[in-house]
Amino acid sequence: MTDTLSLYVARDSGLHRLHPLTKLSLAGFLLIAGLSQSSVWSGYAAFGLLVLPLAGWARVARRLTGLAWRSVLPFAVSVFLVQGLFWPKGTPLFGIGPLSFKQEGLIFAAASTGRILAVVGSFLLFALTTRPDALMTALTERGLPGSIAYVIVATIQIVPRFQAKAAAILDAQRARGLETQGSLARRARALVPLVAPLILGSLVDVEERALAMEARGFNRPGPKTSFVVIQEARWEGVMRWALAAGMIGLLAVRIWA
């Protein structure tokens, strides 16, 4: 599985060898752990104490940290600026000209950033350790319709596919002499020659994939066979039920509190 098709990183680790549905349940538990608590630091705690150790076990911690940093940083900057400066009737801490940062707004921004970090970390841990084809096979084996399983897998793959296509278009336009570096105005002028081929190429890619699935009998009724054989340990079913019970427990504590 290449990096252009998914975020998956091949490693020989215990987390990689788990059944895809077990890893999906684990990702759900990590997500609930980061979002269900009202503390400002709950998201950071879920990421630092749960996601990062599991990523270290899977030997994808560096990759996960880099992707999470690039994903969360733009959100963090914007939410701190907007909530800090425009929080209504807050306690001013320090000012920039006529505007001032409010204490309550900064606390809300810190909590929001921690929660989005937990969400991104949970998703990345699952995507970096789970092959998309294995996930689709596992879902269809459990009786999920193939169309729904495909939508789930395609959603996981959409970001790396767009990144790979955008990088290829950027290299092609640079080879034709398009200047993509320099001032902000120059970069803005280069945006249209990059966006238009990306959108058209994505539409063509969708049509090609639809034709390929039709040729392979994707919508054909009846049982299907798969080249991907998924191994599952007996204790993993118990683990999934335990994770589900943990999610319900965390939500119950949140509602009760």
Are 60 and 21 spatial neighbours (Cβ–Cβ below 8 Å)?
no
Within a domain: residue 220? no
Same domain, 120 and 31: yes
Q: Which two tokens stand for residue 247?
A: 């999610």
Q: Which two tokens stand for residue 169?
A: 């278009």
* Span 239-254, pLDDT tens digits: 999 999 999 999 888 8
Q: Of all residues in the chain, what percent carry a pLDDT higher than 90?
A: 29
- Between 36-45, 82-91, 221-230, 235-244, the lowest mean confidence (pLDDT) is in 221-230
User: What is the total count of domains within the chain?
Assistant: 2
- Give residue 53's pLDDT: 95
Same domain, 73 and 92: yes
Same domain, 143 and 120: no
- Give residue 2's pLDDT: 43
- Give residue 223's pLDDT: 67
| pLDDT top residue among 72 and 161 | 72
Q: Answer yes or no: is pLDDT of 95 > 50.
A: yes
Burial class (CB in 10 A: 0-12, 13-18, 19+), 70: exposed
Burial class (CB in 10 A: 0-12, 13-18, 19+), 104: middle
Within a domain: residue 43? yes
Within a domain: residue 9? no
Same domain, 55 and 101: yes
* Span 123-139, pLDDT tens digits: 999 999 998 888 888 88
pLDDT band at residue 113 using 50, 70 and 90 as cut-offs: very high
Structural domain of 37: 14-130+235-256
Same domain, 123 and 143: no
The distance of Cα 140 from the centroid of its chain, to the nearest Å, equals 22
Same domain, 185 and 107: no
- Give residue 222's pLDDT: 65
Q: Answer yes or no: is pLDDT of 7 > 60.
A: yes
pTM, 2 dp: 0.76
Same domain, 45 and 120: yes
Q: Which two tokens stand for residue 110?
A: 């810190």
Same domain, 189 and 65: no
**Average of pLDDT values for 54-73?**
92
Same domain, 121 and 243: yes
Within a domain: residue 54? yes
The residues facing 92 across adjacent strands are 102
Same domain, 65 and 172: no
Q: Answer yes or no: is pLDDT of 4 > 80.
A: no
* Span 140-186, pLDDT tens digits: 888 777 777 777 777 777 767 766 777 777 777 777 776 666 666 66
Mean pLDDT of the residues in the chain: 81
Same domain, 172 and 154: yes
Same domain, 114 and 239: yes
Within a domain: residue 94? yes
